[in-house]
Structure 1
Amino acid sequence: MCWQLQEAKNKLSEVIQAAQKSGPQAITVRGRETAVILSAEDYRRLTMKSGSLVSFFQASPWAEVELDLTRSKDVGRDIEL
C-alpha cells in the first residue's frame, strides 16, 4: 500500500501493523515514493549475508567455463605526434 507522508505520520501504528501483515509500505511525498516501511523480519532477510563472493562464483553455472586470460604481446601501433 502507498501512504502519503502526513497520513503515515498520523497513523504510524497502522502503517507498522500493515508492514508486519501485508509487507512493505511505501511512503509518498508530493506523489513520489520516498521511503518504505518494512517489518523487522523483512529487513533481516534482506540484509542477511548468505555466503561469500567466492562461493557465489563457484555455484555459478559459468564456473566450469575456461577463459583465456593470457595477456596480448601486441605493443600497439606507432603514432606520429
Structure 2
Amino acid sequence: MARTWQLQEAKNRLSEVVDEALTHGPQIITRRGIETAIVLSYAEYQRLALSRVGISTFFRESPLAAAAEDLDLARDSSPPRPDIAL
C-alpha cells in the first residue's frame, strides 16, 4: 500500500522510504500538500519501462488502423485564394 510522505520527512527518513518502496510498493512524496514525486523499487521501474510500446507500434496495432486505409491524403491541387485587400 502506498504511503504518503511530506518532503521534509522523506528527506530525513530516506532509508525508511526506500525500504517501504521495496516491501510495500511506491511511496508518494508531497510538497506543500501537493503530490510531486514517487519513490519505487528498481524492479517496479523496470517492469513499467519495459511495458512501454513505441508510438508507431501503438498506431499500427490500433483498431482504427484499418480505417486509415480509407483516408484520402492527396494534396488539394486547386489554386490558392486571391489576396484580400485590407
TM band (smaller chain): 0.7 to 0.9
Is the counterpart of residue 72 in structure 1 residue 76 in structure 2?
A: yes
| Structure 2 Cα separation of the partners of residues 80 and 7 of structure 1 | 65
Is the counterpart of residue 17 in structure 1 residue 19 in structure 2?
A: yes
Percent identical residues: 47
| Structure 2 Cα separation of the partners of residues 48 and 54 of structure 1 | 16
How many residues are aligned here?
81
Give the TM-score normalised by structure 2: 0.72
What are structure 1's unaligned runs of at least 5 residues?
none
Is the counterpart of residue 60 in structure 1 residue 62 in structure 2?
A: yes
Give the TM-score normalised by structure 1: 0.76
Paired AA for residue 30 in structure 1: R
Superposition RMSD in Å: 2.1
Q: How far off is 1:7 after superposition?
A: 1.5
**After the TM superposition, which of the residue ranges 9-18 and 64-73 deviates more from structure 2?**
9-18
Q: Would the alpha carbon gap of residues 53 and 34 (structure 1) be closer, same or farther in structure 2, given more than 3 Å must change? A: closer
